[in-house]
Amino acid sequence: MISLKKIEGRILRKLVWPLALIQFHGAAIWGRDYFTVQVSSGELMGTLRLKSSCFDQYICYEPTRTWLNLEDLNDIISFIVDDECLIVSAVTSWNDQVTYVHFVFEILDCEVDWISGTVRFTTKTLRGGPIPNHHRDMNESEFAYEVVVGLPSEKFRQIITHFYQPGLPFVEAFVIDDEVTFRIGPYEDIVLTTAGGDCVIGGTYDFYRVVIRIYLLDCPDSYIAASEHCNTVWLLQSEGDSPDMVYFPLGELGNFMFYRNR
């Protein structure tokens, strides 16, 4: 069984939407330290990871995993109004085939009694099932990266919009010590420099040039929606087995991660 509570529930609104744009269904995973939503569509993997510390109450007696309709999950969380608290609990059946996720929206209705107030509840429930075999269970905490490129979210959105065409699998970022060039096919390059304050680059001292791929795979709207939740987007590259990643930090909440599902 799990239970979590967020007093400022409005902070969670629209966080599931970038993943729902990739795939209508995904895995919801409650662990000791994180609540994670994962989706995969072909080669693209998307993850929303929320830290347990970002909740006012987070109880997870044992890891809980279920397969949910993400459009429904997004609609429910988006239902939160500004002064509501969100309480979520999940209970799995004895045979692990069904998980019921219960949402309680709690609001202090001071119009009824401005001294003591009256607590008003609204409830909704989602029914989850077993995670299908085609969904790969990825543990991003095992990934390691040597090269990082940080750029403003607004600039990142411009790059995605500039290059994207239906069927385009990826955009390549060619990185050297003080410059990153975004390039694909016949389209005009976009060049960002550290001297111009356009980007931050780290870890390239061991390499002459590094290539980082941003895997679009017909999901550019997911990247754009995720970038609207942060100020800086990070491109990560590893010389080992970790896939190239686009990382969207959400501050104390957690992060979004998009990468190729190998």
Whether the CB-CB separation of 159 and 201 falls below 8 Å is answered with no
CA–CA gap between residue 246 and residue 223 (Å, rounded):
9
pLDDT in tens, 119-161: 677 889 999 999 998 887 777 888 999 999 999 999 999 999 9
Pairing outcome for strands 118-128 and 147-152: unpaired
Report the predicted TM-score, pTM, of the whole model to 2 decimal places.
Answer: 0.91
SS3 readout for 24-79: CEEEEEECCCEEEEEEEECCEEEEEEEEHHHCCEEEECCCEEEEEEHHHHHHHHHC
User: Is residue 117 left, alpha or beta, with left meaning phi > 0 and alpha meaning psi from -120 to 50?
Assistant: left
pLDDT in tens, 9-39: 889 989 999 999 999 999 999 999 999 999 9
Sheet holding 2-6, edge to edge: 57-60, 2-6, 84-92, 99-109, 118-128
pLDDT at position 54 = 95
pLDDT at position 31 = 92
pLDDT at position 109 = 56
Q: What is the pLDDT along the chain (262 residues), one digit of tens a residue?
A: 789 999 888 899 899 999 999 999 999 999 999 999 999 887 899 999 999 999 999 999 888 999 999 999 999 998 888 778 899 999 988 776 899 999 998 875 544 444 555 667 788 999 999 999 888 777 788 899 999 999 999 999 999 999 998 888 899 999 999 999 999 888 899 999 999 999 999 987 767 789 999 998 878 999 999 999 999 999 999 888 899 999 999 999 999 999 988 6
Q: Domains in the chain, start-ordered, CATH in brackets?
A: 2-128 (3.70.10.10), 140-260 (3.10.150.10)
Whether the CB-CB separation of 216 and 124 falls below 8 Å is answered with no
pLDDT at position 29 = 94
